[in-house]
Structure formats: C-alpha cells, structure tokens
Structure 1
Amino acid sequence: MNDDRHDCKPNIARLAAAILIVALCAAAPLHATAFTPEQRRAIVEQADALPRLYSLLVLHEGEPVIEHVRTGPDLDSPASLKSLSKTILSALAGIAIERGIVEGPDQPLVELLGDRVPRAVDPQVGEITLGHALALQTGLRSTSGRYYGAWVQSENWVAHALTRPMVDEPGGEMIYSTGSTHLAGAALVEASGSSLLKLARDWLGEPLDLRIPDWMRDPQGIHFGGNQMRMSPRALARFGEAYRLGGTVDGKRVVPESWIEASWTPRGRSPWSNDLYGYGWFIDRLSGVKAYYGRGYGGQALFVVPDAALTIVVISDPSPPSYGGYFDRIKRLAASIVETAG
C-alpha cells in the first residue's frame, strides 16, 4: 500500500511558511508602505519651501506618515488656528442639534439669541438662520477685512454684527465675515447655557482626548466664535480623523454623520478662491480627488480627503502680514500628498 505521509511533510512546512508570510503582510501597518522615504523627502522639501511654515502632519489610514516641524510649536503644543476655528464651531453646532439644544440649521438666529438682539435691527435680520451664519450667508455687511478693527473694538460684538447694513438677502451670496460665525457661537451659548469653551471641552475634548485651551472672549464674555482657538497639530488631526471616519472614533460617536454630510454640502462659493463652502468647510478637488478643508489666516489648514484616506494639517506663522497666494501653495502641497497617496 502506498503511503504518502512522508511526502506531505515538506508540503506542510511550505504551507506553514506561506501562512506565516501572509499573516506578517496582513499585520504590517499600511503607513509603512504608503510613502517611500524618497516621497516623504520630496513632500518635506516642498513644505519647507513655504516661507511661513511651522509644521506639517500627514495621516494616512489614521497613521502618521509625515511628522515635520521646521520651527514654531511642536506637534503636541497648541497653535493658533485663526479662522480655522470656524470649522470647529460648525462641529459644536451639529452636536447641539443632535442633542436637541438647537432645533436645526433652519432655526432663526434671533430666536436663539433672545435678549442679545438689539431693537434697532433690519427686519430682514429675523430671516437669518443658524445655518446662514455657519455658511457665511447672513446677508449682513462683513465685519472682516477693513471692517474688522471697528467690530472688535466695539462694546458689543453681537449687537455690532447684527446692526450691520443688509447687503444681500439671507441665504444669498457667501460674505466672508467672522461676525457671522460669532453670532452662531453666541446662539449656542444662549441655547445651551454653557460657554463655548465648556462645549468644546465636553463635546470634542473629552471624547477625542484633546486639549483645548481657553481663548479670547468678547466684552460680554462670549468666546470668539470662529477665530482665535488654539489646538495642537496632533489634536487638530484627530478632529479631522473624526470627520474622515464619519463622526466615530475608537467606537465613540463624536459628530453626527448626518451633520458631516450637511457640512460638506455646498451652500455658497468663495468670492476669492471660487471654492465651494458648506457649514465651516471649503470643498474642492485635489489631484482630482474631492477634499474638504478649513483654513485660517497666515496659512493654518486642515484637509480631510476621505477617498485617499488622508488627513493633513499645516500650521504656519499666524502673525501679519499674510500675502495672497500663500494658501494656493499650501493647496498645491496638499495635492502632491494626495497624488502620492493615490
């Protein structure tokens, strides 16, 4: 009788070795092969050509593939986000809606602000909704740019913003104005009975394990809604990951998935970059891939590119002056990263 048990021993050994190789390959982290050393060097060189750059942090599939600090705060130290704070504020609004503190983005702003609304406002102010404020479509004249100084030196930032002349219909063209997002922040304070700092720490800081330092307040004690927040690059990247993953991180629901979809739905278009804008997020394509980003004065940026499994943080010198075209260079850097990941 033929007995092939001895002939099977080499085959079993080969099979075991093959299984081991497959297991090791499956266990190998994706970030180990996502970017070659040469590709990383090329991206860092492109980043270092940005004259205002402090740091660059790139996560692919949730793992850091580039951690570069040229100068300024390290990746664990809070940095000024400037108007990138508008993106964080939008998340707080979405969570407030989910918790029933706010009815929804269509709730009138004056209803939420209550006694903070001065008597001498244009009747059209009553048509402005929370969503209009988050999408920068209030119709009120801007408080940014050449109007910024007068606004922040006023005795009441909410009243000043609400009494600006109406220059468009509520829900019309995008008018970049930090006064609009400050109104949204004040509305959340009134509706919740808590400060924006407490909301940010309770709703984002605690579940995401983020450090959120205190930041600037207006004369009435309301934290600046849409400016001057500070977070470390790593904390900002973790926030971005929450959006990339549909609002859930480590099994915890942080931001409603429906709100992410709503925030990434175009509401208006930037008159300067021509990029679309939702609730606190710009929308564009980088190397042909849809990307969502928040940005702040001086070159602060958070890019979330779900189809490329990327979250990109760029921190730059926030001090003036900030020259035109600098953010275009940041976007080109982000596009190079998307192309490399693809």
Structure 2
Amino acid sequence: MTSISPQLRLCCLSGLFALVVWGQSAAALDESLAAEAVTRAGELERTHSLLVAVDGEIVLEESYRGPGTAQPANVKSLSKTVLAALVGAAIEQGLVAGDEQPIAELIGTRMPENTEPGVSDITVGHLLAMQSGLERTSGANYGRWVASDDWVTAALTRPFVDAPGGRMLYSTGNSHILSAALTWASGRTTRELAQDWLGNPLNIVIPEWPRDPQGIYFGGNDMNLSPRALLQIGELYRHDGVLNGERVLPEGWVENSWTPRGRSPFNNNQYGYGWFITELDGEPAYYGWGFGGQMLYVIPSVAMTIVITSDPTPPGSGSAYLRHLDALVAETLIPAARRARQ
C-alpha cells in the first residue's frame, strides 16, 4: 500500500470539508477502502461524524456536519449501552451484587405499593436485557410515559405481558429503573457515579443530561457524549473491561454483555446487556444503537472500534438508515482493516 505522507489531509466531500486524521497508524486501514468509507459516509445526508480506531489508535476521524468528534452530542438510546457499562462498574465497586440480584433489593422501601407480585422476580440482568416482562414504555407508550409525574412508578407498575426472563421487549423504562436503583442504593446521582466509575478511569467527561420529575437522570436516553468519549467506552469493552491498566468492569462482564439473551423484533439482531449482536462481513460484531443513527461498533476480530453520530431527529425509517451504516462498516471499514493486515 502506498503510504500517505501528510498527517493531516483535507478532503472535499459533496461540497463539505472533512478532516481526515492519518497518523502513524494509517497503515491499519487500506487506503482505497478507507477513502471509500469517507465518501460513502459523507454521502449519507444524516451523518455528522465518523471515528475509527484500530488497535486502540484513531486511524480515521471525520466531521461532516453537526457537532464534531470532540463535541458532546445527544446519543439517544445509545445511552443504554453506557448505562449497562455503569451497571457493570457498580458491580465491580460492590454497589450491585451481580446481574442476578433482584431489582427490589436495590430499590428497597421506594418500591411502589401497587406493583404486581412478579416485580420481585425481576433482576438487574432482566432489565439490562429488556426481559423484565413489563409492558413497554417505548414505542406508542413513550409519550404518555415521559409525560407522567413519576417515571419510575409508571414503569414499575405496568402490567406484565410476559414472564421476567421471557422475550425481549425493548423499553426505555427498564433502563430508567436501573438509573433510579443505582441512585437510591448509593445516595449519589447517576451522573456522579458515571463520572467517577467510567469517566475518570477512561479520561472522559460525562456532561449533564435530562432528569425525570424526581431528579433521577434519564436512564437509557438523551445522554450527551462526544464520539471520542464513546470510542473509549467501546475500547473498554474490546479490552474486556480493562483500560489503561485499570479494571473498570468485572471480569466476565463483557462476555455476559455480549451473550445473546433475546432477539430484537425491529432488526432481528440478538441482544445482550445493552448491546446488539450480529455479524458483519463474516466477523462477530457488537453495537450500541441510538435513534437516528448514533452508533458504537466493536469488532474484536479486527481490533476495531467505530463511532458514528448522525442527525438525531431524522424523518423516515431509522432501521433503513441503520442498514446503510451496517453496510458501510461491512463493505469498507472491516475489509480495510483486514486488507491492511495482509
């Protein structure tokens, strides 16, 4: 492969200027395929940024429109992946006993009185895997849920539509219950815990994000994180919960998180603890997904972590746009890393 001598190169894509970072790690990506990835991402009108690391080194960094790679952006439901990491950190810190701990033990006396008996069977793992069995708060129910005066009570008192541990029922209320449980069990806000247990060891800033009427930070939506911060979270998982020599997540947590627990009815991919599980270009791939195309991919077999941010309020089908992003990763970025290693 012909080497690229400048470390910084400006490219004009569809009338927009984007900055490509080509450092000493440029050889980690095949040049022609990397250039194709840059062009294809820019041609998708929703794309805000593209950030790629191989072996922990940033090899591609693009800003097309919207916030840049160092600026916080609303990552929508990709927040669920971050919250799952925080739950893992809470286990490592001893606040949570494990994924099999009943959520009622963490909530304690704050448990609403009018919950159904089966709520006592819901575990931390059930909530992470979207298997609480409670009626969803997402989809058609989302607006009424966030308009309620007590989001936690509204989520916990929904009727059961399946048994705990049953089929995947994607519901932001599950993640918000976890945010409340962490707050009440620790006496500290979810943001304080996230900054101490994730932000500080990863050397990232976790800014303020919305809270519910009781002051609980929104669990599973509307976090504001930069693509570079998200990259560090992906790298933490790629390194089995250890980063910069410090164990942040319990041993085995990544394996548990990437173990299929159910299957999404929206894209037919499997789901673990805050991560979707699929295969791209023949490689096992794990990703967090936020509405509008906020993506964090980890492909361990090629030592690759990818962050894509996009317009968070797009028209049309989010699933169709996700297919475009999956194709971008499968057809250009993974082959670019594989070809560079040959």
Q: Residue 333 of structure 1 is aligned with which of 300, 313, 328?
A: 328
> Could you give the per-residue CA deviations for residues 104-142 of structure 1, whole angstroms, max 9, x where no partner exists?
111111221123321111111111111101110000111
Aligned pairs for 1:162-181 within 5 A: 162-181=156-175
Number of the residue aligned with 1:76: 70
Aligned pairs for 1:113-262 within 5 A: 113-262=107-256
Residue 88 (1) aligns with residue 82 (2):
yes
1:113 and 1:187 in contact (8 A); partners too: yes
> Could you give the per-residue CA deviations for residues 173-213 of structure 1, whole angstroms, max 9, x where no partner exists?
00010001111111111121111100110011111110110
Structure 1: 5+ residue stretches without partners = 1-28
2:33 and 2:335 in contact (8 A); partners too: no
2:241 and 2:251 in contact (8 A); partners too: yes
1:54 and 1:71 in contact (8 A); partners too: yes
Q: TM-score under structure 1 normalisation?
A: 0.89
> Could you give the per-residue CA deviations for residues 260-281 of structure 1, whole angstroms, max 9, x where no partner exists?
1111111111111111111101
Moved more, 113-122 or 139-148: 113-122
> Could you give the per-residue CA deviations for residues 53-112 of structure 1, whole angstroms, max 9, x where no partner exists?
001001111111211111001111001110000011111111111222111111111221
Number of the residue aligned with 2:308: 314
Structure 2: 5+ residue stretches without partners = 1-22
User: What is the letter of the counterpart of residue 179 of structure 2?
Assistant: G
Give, in whole Å, the separation in 2 of the partners of 1:287 and 1:61: 19
Give, in whole Å, the separation in 1 of the partners of 2:234 and 2:302: 14
Give, in whole Å, the separation in 1 of the partners of 2:31 and 2:252: 38
1:116 and 1:159 in contact (8 A); partners too: no
2:114 and 2:157 in contact (8 A); partners too: yes
Bigger Rg, which one = 1
1:108 and 1:129 in contact (8 A); partners too: yes
How many residue pairs match? The answer is 314
Number of the residue aligned with 1:18: none
2:46 and 2:314 in contact (8 A); partners too: no
Q: TM-score under structure 2 normalisation?
A: 0.89
Give, in whole Å, the separation in 2 of the partners of 1:305 and 1:86: 19
> Could you give the per-residue CA deviations for residues 23-57 of structure 1, whole angstroms, max 9, x where no partner exists?
xxxxxx87231224322210111112222100100
1:298 and 1:322 in contact (8 A); partners too: no
